[in-house]
Chains A and B, each alone.
Chain A
Amino acid sequence: MNYLSASKSQSNMFAGDLKAPTIAVARTRLMFGVFFFLVAFVVMGARTVELGMSTPITAKQTIARHIEVPATTVARADIVDRNGEALAINLKSSSLYANPKMISNPEAVAQKLNEILPSVPRAGLLQKLKSGRSFVWIKRKLTPKQKWDVNALGVPGLKFQEEEDRLYPHGRLASHVLGYVDVDGNGIAGVEHYFDDQLSNSNRSGEALQLSLDIRVQYALADELEAAMRAHRAKGAAGLVMDVNTGELLALVSMPDYDPNNISGVSDDELFNRASKGVYELGSTFKTFTFANALDDGVATLEDGYDATKPLKVARFLIRDDHPKKRYLTLPEIFAFSSNIGTAQMALDIGSDRQREFMGDLGLLNPAALELPEVGAPMYPASWRKVSTVTISYGHGIAVSPVQLATSIASVVNGGSLNAPTLVRTSAAVQSQRQVISQSTSRQMRQLLRLAVTKGTGGRADARGYRVGGKTGTAEKASGGGYDRKSLISSFVGVYPMDDPQYVVFALLDEPQGTKETFGFASGGWVAAPVVKNVIMRTAPLLGVLPKWEDEGLYQKVALMIDED
């Protein structure tokens, strides 16, 4: 103030009258500035209050944009079945290691660890803990429960290493479909290998791969095949359940199988997929295709017949019947009693070129287009001679995989449209369908297949109420240029319900032995047909197929042509 007044008095001396208005002007200007800031503060204050009072909905929206839940990333996508049941899942797992230098009393720790981890031997554990090293693995990939228990011990020298582990909750079930992964998580077999890029693609992480399998059906089939395999002391077994109209596989089983959770020490025989990689001469089931061919081309009608009184001589081979009737047989009889002689004559009427073309149309001469790396190529003669025509008509001299057979059977019964087999859940519309036989031929084939069960060799597959149709197949294994009468491939292919086909069920047993229950027989009708029957009885209620007492009239006309003696 003093300085100001001093300067005032000083300026008075120089400025004189100018002093008073200058200060007034400066004060007015200052007041403008103050007023401006005041207004600005009032506006800001009002705005703050307004924001505070505003509805919380807008506030939530602005916040929601910033909330980020860390995504659950997995190195490999899950695999689920058609109902969303987990088949393969990647989990964070912990591996236990120890720093023995930090453990004061190894004996007590070894004792306690052994109680938690019984698979780790106590002596070896003690030796590890007593070693003077600073890092020893105790066990890789502990379960969450084991990890909890180890943590509860509170021993300072025990530590965990976080890892990711591929887990197959269903163990052996569907192992041949799923395949397995190596230690680094790369798919080695099955769909794990086929879809390796898709599964390990980090951009699509979290998007599970949905298969067409139904784990319940898979189990029913695996259970029945295993029981039959044990009962008949067979070397192996294979089977599948396929949706007739879409080509989707609901179950694909190969025995013996393996546990994909632990693949050390698994033999090649266990890894071998008999259902898709294995090709077999399947025997009489091929008569279905010969009949479909003859009926569709008009070579023969259901009213025709062939003479089967004595064995047929073709070139230097003699064609015999397993169940000789030694008389003239009608077409339905030839099919129901599975006569080789009758079928062979029909094939000769069809001709070699046309037979080969028809087999090609059904996809039996090309490997199945299945989403597995393990797909077997069919074997058939390079030059399709007369003898080949005859033997192929009843399923010898041509070897195909069970998947190929089921695909072709499905096309024969579903009205004639061929669907590629698939292991991935698809909608029917996506499927590329190709017409191979006419609707009416398909209807006749359904009648024949049903009668082969009600009156013919497939009687043991008749799951009453489910209208099963099917064909038995028994082939002798080729060995050393000839056929071994003792070692058989016995199979049965069934379709149900026959008045509106929905599912193909196939069962195959590799070298089954006859038992007291089967009176020593090991043919398809004795060993494989009951498997198909049991599988249908177990799975039809799950798949929503209604049991019905059938309309005999559907088959009457054809049934009358079968003379049972």
Chain B
Amino acid sequence: MRKAFTAFAAVSAMISGAAVMQLKLAVQEQADEVEVLAQQIHNDRENIRVLNAEWAYLTSPHALQEKSISFLALMPPAPKQILGSLDDIPFRIKGDAVDGDASVLLPSAMTKKKNAPKQKASKNKERAL
């Protein structure tokens, strides 16, 4: 009994020792990985700064204008091209006209609202009939 107990104690001490050792190594490995990642983030940030500078250089208004002239025929918008509100668009069907026209499909949320009073009205009609 005593021998078995001593053996059990010895084995469990060795197993737990090994387990803790392994855990420590695993943590060490993770910590190393974290350090590498942190360094990588730092390097990436430095690179992003370089890329930002390059982006600012490549998209400076002068460079964009040169590109625009050689590849596109873009001009600054004339006042006539700029509309302040939807009402300024000519020949646009106004909101009321659309709602009244059954042939124009409206989003379901809108049609439900619109239909609700109509149903009532039709019921009233039926009663009247």
Residues of the A chain whose Cβ atoms lie less than 8 Å from the Cβ of B50: 91-92, 144
Chain B residue, CB-CB nearest to A52: B23
Cross-chain contact B42 with A547 (CB below 8 angstroms): no
Cross-chain contact A546 with B84 (CB below 8 angstroms): yes
What is the distance, in angstroms, from A48's C-beta to the closest C-beta of chain B? 7
Residues of the B chain whose Cβ atoms lie less than 8 Å from the Cβ of A219: 60-62, 65
Cross-chain contact B42 with A72 (CB below 8 angstroms): yes
On whether A72 and B46 interact (CB within 8 A), knowing A38-B9, A52-B23, A548-B84, the answer reads: yes
Cross-chain contact B19 with A167 (CB below 8 angstroms): no
Chain B residue, CB-CB nearest to A464: B79
Residues of the B chain whose Cβ atoms lie less than 8 Å from the Cβ of A465: 79-80
**Most chain B beta-carbon neighbours within 10 Å: one of A170, A215, A218:** A170
Residues of the B chain whose Cβ atoms lie less than 8 Å from the Cβ of A45: 12, 16
- Is there a chain B Cβ closer than 8 Å to A553's Cβ? no
Bound-state Cα–Cα, A426 to B76, Å = 29
**Binary flags per residue of A531-547, CB closer than 8 Å to B gives 1, else 0:** 00000011001000011
Residues of the A chain whose Cβ atoms lie less than 8 Å from the Cβ of B82: 541, 546-547
How many pairs of residues, A versus B, come closer than 8 Å at their CB atoms? Answer: 94
- Is there a chain A Cβ closer than 8 Å to B49's Cβ? yes
What is the distance, in angstroms, from A64's C-beta to the closest C-beta of chain B? 10
Cross-chain contact A170 with B60 (CB below 8 angstroms): yes
Cross-chain contact B53 with A89 (CB below 8 angstroms): yes
On whether A173 and B60 interact (CB within 8 A), knowing A72-B46, A72-B49, the answer reads: yes
Bound-state Cα–Cα, A69 to B45, Å = 10
- Is there a chain A Cβ closer than 8 Å to B13's Cβ? yes
Residues of the A chain whose Cβ atoms lie less than 8 Å from the Cβ of B12: 41, 45
- Is there a chain A Cβ closer than 8 Å to B77's Cβ? yes
Cross-chain contact A216 with B16 (CB below 8 angstroms): no
User: Which single member of A37, A48, A71, A464 contacts B16 (CB below 8 Å)?
Assistant: A48
Cross-chain contact B9 with A89 (CB below 8 angstroms): no
Report the contact-size class of chain A (Cβ under 8 Å from the partner).
35 or more
List A283-324 residues whose CB lies under 8 Å from chain B: none
Bound-state Cα–Cα, A38 to B7, Å = 12
Chain B residue, CB-CB nearest to A541: B77
User: Which single member of B20, B34, B39, B54 contacts A70 (CB below 8 Å)?
Assistant: B39
- Is there a chain B Cβ closer than 8 Å to A231's Cβ? no
Cross-chain contact A67 with B34 (CB below 8 angstroms): yes
On whether A70 and B60 interact (CB within 8 A), knowing A45-B16, A541-B82, the answer reads: no
- Is there a chain B Cβ closer than 8 Å to A124's Cβ? no
**Binary flags per residue of A38-72, CB closer than 8 Å to B gives 1, else 0:** 10010011001000100000000001001111111
Residues of the A chain whose Cβ atoms lie less than 8 Å from the Cβ of B76: 537-538, 541
Chain A residue, CB-CB nearest to B62: A219
Bound-state Cα–Cα, A120 to B53, Å = 24
Which B residues contact A (CB, under 8 angstroms)?
9, 12-13, 16, 19-20, 23, 30, 34, 38-39, 41-42, 45-46, 49-50, 52-54, 56-57, 60-62, 65, 76-80, 82, 84
- Subset of 23 A-B contacts with CB under 8 Å: A44-B16, A45-B16, A48-B19, A48-B23, A63-B34, A67-B38, A68-B38, A69-B42, A70-B39, A70-B42, A87-B56, A89-B49, A89-B56, A169-B60, A170-B57, A170-B61, A173-B60, A218-B61, A463-B79, A464-B79, A465-B80, A537-B76, A546-B82
List the 6 closest pairs (A to B, CB-CB), nearest first. A465-B79, A547-B79, A219-B61, A169-B56, A169-B57, A86-B56
